[in-house]
């Protein structure tokens, strides 16, 4: 194993120009620092973009904090910058805020900062990811009766507003409202020390933090695209934690599996031929051998999926099975569409993201082959994160032709309302098409609570599969986190999106 690590790190140094031979270069000179190796560099640390995995895994509850936190294990909401909250009628919620909190620039936190953060991110011209993903472009009115009290009023009754606010990071008044910031100031336990673009990002412990002092004085993030390199950095002691490794990467017993709540799927552009024909979209579903992909490429680290939300999320429909693998039926549907005049030989671009998950390139190749055998003409395009986002989020790339976008969706809120507003309704930030009937079902489901809510969203997901077919679902994933022997951390379903540094400690 040591030889593997040395070989891998030698290749790493040669490939990147980085020195990895001494501890100072690994930790930026901080004694006792923790090094974490990620799949990719965060494209931004803007807090209102922290719903994006590559940003949130660094920012959320480390640099900035929300009013309320969701326990990723129990799903319960817990106090953070708000100590208590209650509804005042159907549309207004009151939050009592924690006292004695300061931002990392030394300024005190109060209700004006909370109100400012909401107005900056929700319904503003910044185009924040959290606006569309969490708040579905809804309208909020905020008020600050006193420095310790915040009220939020929604245009329509919103029974899960506190859950939505658990995704909104708080920044101080004075933060730029005209442009997204690169290096934010927050109330979290760590502040940004130095970001060497393309090389590393270092966070230092914020000594004025209001809560318990985290164990590590500093944390240095680096990024390596090759998962076997990341695994080798953990086994060799070069990194304390490695994200996004696979079963074949050689981490051995340092690879810790966990339910990451992520679902992989192909988003189909139903606006453009031949994917605007539902027979072709159904053929894509029948053509993909999901069991084979899970068994051979993911080494059983997952299970075939028939919907975008995993078990445990409110609205998950246990009656929905994965589409069966039926290549003959796929060929027949494509032939039927061709006979009806659908241009099935039009080139379709399958877009995937580098390092999105282990074996992502091989997964794209397997799908390309399967769809080719069904009678479709598919070409693969691998992109980095920034370029992939241009296809993933509105406004989409124009004149891209018919596309299949390989996505990985994690519903960390535990409620299908977040998925449907983002991925299924006609004007969703990550949805390319829909139907009025489906939009209406989603809107009605979002006004419900409890068991009725679970049933209503389960019906939405079933209707989508039968009548709209926007997606070819592939697998509910499980993650594998590399954790060095001298580090103690228990991954959970939120780890992929929110790796809370305060929960990481040296092993004793």
pLDDT digits (tens, 9 = 90+) for 46-78: 999 998 888 999 999 999 999 999 888 887 899
- Helices 436-445, 416-423: axis angle to 10 degrees equals 150
Q: Among 322, 33, 431, 55, which Cα is nearest to 204's?
A: 33
Mean pLDDT of the region 261-269:
95
Q: Judge whether residue 3 has pLDDT over 70.
A: no
Count CB-CB contacts under 10 A for residue 36: 26
Res 435: pLDDT: 97
* Tokens describing residue 289: 């051998």
User: What pLDDT is stored for residue 107 in this prediction?
Assistant: 98
Mean pLDDT of 441-469: 95
Alpha-carbon distance 340 to 344, whole Å? 10
Joined together, the tokens standing for residue 365 give 């190749």
Check residues 355 and 117 and name the one with the higher pLDDT.
117
Q: What are phi and psi of 405, to 5 degrees?
A: -105, 120
Report percent pLDDT > 90 for the chain: 78
Residue 56 phi/psi, 5° resolution?
A: -60, -35
Strand-pairing partners, residue 264, are 408, 475
Q: Please give the residue that has the higher pLDDT: either 303 or 4.
A: 303
Give the lowest-confidence range in 26-35, 170-179, 450-459. Answer: 26-35
Q: Which residue has the higher pLDDT, 103 or 13?
A: 103
- Whether the per-residue pLDDT at 2 is higher than 70: the answer is no
Over 80: is that where the pLDDT of 171 sits? yes
**pLDDT the model gives residue 31:** 65
What pLDDT, on the 0 to 100 scale, is given for residue 261?
83
Q: Is 268 exposed, middle or buried (0-12, 13-18, 19+ CB in 10 A)?
A: buried
What spatial distance separates the first Cα and last Cα of the chain, rounded to whole Å? Answer: 24
Alpha-carbon distance of 452 to 441, in angstroms, equals 13
Arithmetic mean of pLDDT, 481-491: 96
- In DSSP terms, 505 is beta-bridged to 488
pLDDT of residue 20: 34
- Residue 464 is classified by DSSP as I
Q: Residue 30 has what pLDDT?
A: 57
Least confident span in 1-15, 354-368, 376-390:
1-15
Helix, strand or coil for residue 94?
strand
């Amino acid at each position: 194993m040591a030889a593997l690590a040395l070989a891998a790190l030698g290749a790493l140094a040669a490939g990147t120009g980085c020195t990895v031979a001494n501890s100072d270069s690994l930790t930026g000179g901080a004694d006792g620092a923790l090094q974490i190796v990620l799949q990719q560099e965060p494209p931004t640390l803007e807090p209102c973009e922290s719903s994006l995995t590559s940003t949130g895994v660094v920012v959320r509850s480390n640099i900035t904090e929300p009013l309320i936190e969701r326990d990723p294990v129990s799903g319960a909401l817990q106090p953070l910058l708000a100590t208590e909250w209650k509804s005042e009628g159907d549309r207004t919620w009151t939050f009592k805020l924690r006292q004695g909190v300061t931002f990392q620039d030394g300024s005190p936190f109060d209700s004006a900062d909370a109100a400012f953060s909401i107005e900056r991110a929700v319904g503003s011209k910044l185009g924040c990811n959290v606006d569309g993903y969490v708040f579905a472009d809804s309208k909020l009115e905020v008020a600050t009766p006193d420095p310790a009290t915040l009220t939020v009023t929604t245009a329509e009754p919103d029974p899960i507003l506190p859950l939505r606010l658990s995704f909104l990071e708080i920044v101080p008044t004075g933060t730029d409202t005209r442009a997204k910031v690169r290096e934010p100031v927050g109330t979290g336990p760590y502040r940004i020390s130095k970001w060497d673009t393309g090389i590393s990002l270092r966070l230092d412990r914020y000594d004025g933090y209001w809560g318990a002092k985290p164990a590590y004085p500093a944390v240095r993030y680096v990024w390596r695209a090759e998962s076997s390199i990341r695994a080798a950095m953990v086994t060799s002691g070069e990194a304390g934690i490695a994200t996004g490794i696979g079963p074949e990467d050689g981490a051995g017993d340092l690879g810790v599996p966990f339910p990451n709540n992520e679902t992989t799927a192909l988003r189909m552009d139903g606006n453009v031929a031949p994917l605007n024909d539902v027979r072709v979209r159904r053929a894509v579903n029948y053509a993909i051998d999901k069991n084979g992909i899970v068994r051979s490429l993911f080494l059983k680290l997952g299970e075939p999926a028939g919907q975008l939300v995993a078990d445990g999320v409110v609205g998950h429909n246990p009656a929905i099975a994965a589409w069966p693998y039926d290549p003959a039926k796929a060929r027949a549907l494509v032939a039927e569409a061709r006979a009806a005049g659908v241009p099935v030989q039009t080139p379709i671009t399958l877009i995937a993201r580098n390092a999105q998950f282990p074996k992502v390139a091989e997964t794209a190749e397997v799908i390309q082959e399967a769809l080719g055998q069904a009678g479709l003409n598919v070409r693969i395009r691998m992109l980095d994160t920034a370029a992939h986002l241009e296809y993933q989020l509105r406004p989409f790339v124009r004149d891209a032709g018919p596309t299949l976008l390989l996505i990985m969706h994690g519903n960390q809120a535990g409620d299908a309302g977040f998925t449907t507003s983002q991925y299924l309704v006609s004007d969703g930030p990550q949805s390319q098409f829909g139907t009025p009937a489906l939009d209406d079902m989603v809107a009605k489901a979002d006004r419900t609570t409890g068991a009725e809510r679970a049933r209503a969203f389960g019906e939405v997901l079933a209707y989508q599969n039968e009548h709209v077919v926007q997606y070819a679902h592939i697998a509910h994933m499980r993650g594998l986190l590399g954790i060095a022997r001298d580090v103690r951390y228990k991954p959970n379903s939120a780890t992929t999106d929110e790796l809370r540094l305060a929960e990481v400690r040296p092993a004793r």
